[in-house]
Structure 1
Amino acid sequence: MPIFVKIETGRVDKPTFDKYVPAHKAYVEDLIAKGHKARTGYWAEFGGGMMVFEAQSMTEAQEIIARDPLVANGCVNYQLHEWRIIVE
């Protein structure tokens, strides 16, 4: 299954962002349970993070990202890319 990467930067203050983190974590756990092999995290320096996951297509990946609570609640700006691995 193709691998996708959402690279994000925050667009709201930390208290607003932190309000949606538990829902984001639960969402990622649900993606894992559904077989999307999702991983999420943030940069050591302030201001952004990344989520890596599998989806059948870019369309499905876009749908997955649209339902992410951090995106749905306007907490982040993001870019979505299909990642094609050349060495494993």
Structure 2
Amino acid sequence: MSYFAAILLMEKPDLNMTYRPQHLEYLEKLESEGKVFAKGPFVDGAGGLVIYQANSIEEARELAEADPYIIHGVRSLQLHEWGMALSK
């Protein structure tokens, strides 16, 4: 299992609150399946970050692209494999 950082940059702030409940429900479902390691908004309003746990970049992309924020163009997606290293 690898980690993938999905950077979700704000594109349509006027639609953000419309799709927020669907976005959070989607991430909750994935959390219950062990597919989300961490998540949260950027405090400056620029978007947010989701760290997915997946077997491949393809699987992570499928998960990220099924987010209602991405489907409806509210946010754009940058996806990168993350070589996580925890501090001691």
TM-score w.r.t. length of structure 2: 0.89
Task: Count matched residues.
Answer: 87
Q: Unaligned stretches of 5+ in structure 1?
A: none
Cα deviation for residue 38 of structure 1 reads: 3.8
Deviates more, 1:61-70 or 1:42-51: 42-51
Which residue of structure 2 lines up, in the alignment, with residue 11 of structure 1? 11
CA contact (8 A) 1:31 1:38 kept: no
Identity score, percent: 30
Q: Unaligned stretches of 5+ in structure 2?
A: none
SS in 1 for 2:8: strand
Q: Tell me, in whole angstroms, the C-alpha distance in 2 between the residues paired with 1:5 and 1:32.
A: 15
Task: Judging by fraction of residues, say which structure has more strand.
Answer: 2
Q: Tell me, in whole angstroms, the C-alpha distance in 2 between the residues paired with 1:13 and 1:2.
A: 31
Which residue type is aligned with residue 61 of structure 1? A
Which residue type is aligned with residue 79 of structure 1? Q
TM-score w.r.t. length of structure 1: 0.89
